[in-house]
Amino acid sequence: KTGKRAFEPSMHARLAKLGLLHKKDDPESLTEEERERFCVLGIDPTTISWRRVVDCNDKYLRKIEIGKSPSEFAKKKGVQLSREASFAITVSSEIMAIL
């Protein structure tokens, strides 16, 4: 191995879709903006639905707002990353039932 970065063959379709196929040989030739466009995951944080579980049933934890810490900001956008979440009791969690 030479230790040189290279695009995998599966990445060429994404490069073509973004109009970056002419740079298919050298990942280092991508600008910062092109890297962000190429590497975007497209995940909306509000759609992540992994509910936290606790061993006690507390009705005040059924609907809470998380991400209110001053350290939880999207650095590039400058917005707070808060969202609504909830807790469930451990016995009702499918993940905990598997464990």
Residue 21: per-residue pLDDT:
76
Which CATH number characterizes residue 89's domain? 3.30.1510.10
Tokens of 95: 């993940």
Side-chain half-sphere CA neighbours of 66 within 13 A: 14
Whether residues 1 and 32 share a domain: the answer is: yes
Give the C-alpha separation, 40 to 4, whole Å.
23
Residue 87: per-residue pLDDT:
80
| Of 92 and 32, the one with more pLDDT | 32
Q: What is the mean pLDDT of residues 92-99?
A: 70
Into how many domains does the chain fold? 2
Whether residues 62 and 98 share a domain: the answer is: yes
| pLDDT score of 13 more than 80 | yes
Whether residues 57 and 29 share a domain: the answer is: no
Whether residues 30 and 72 share a domain: the answer is: no
| pLDDT score of 92 more than 80 | no
Give the C-alpha separation, 51 to 9, whole Å.
37
Residue 1: per-residue pLDDT:
61
Residue 67: per-residue pLDDT:
84
Whether residues 61 and 99 share a domain: the answer is: yes
End-to-end Cα spacing for the chain: 41
Q: What is the mean pLDDT of residues 63-86?
A: 82
Q: Which domain holds residue 99?
A: 43-99
Whether residues 30 and 77 share a domain: the answer is: no
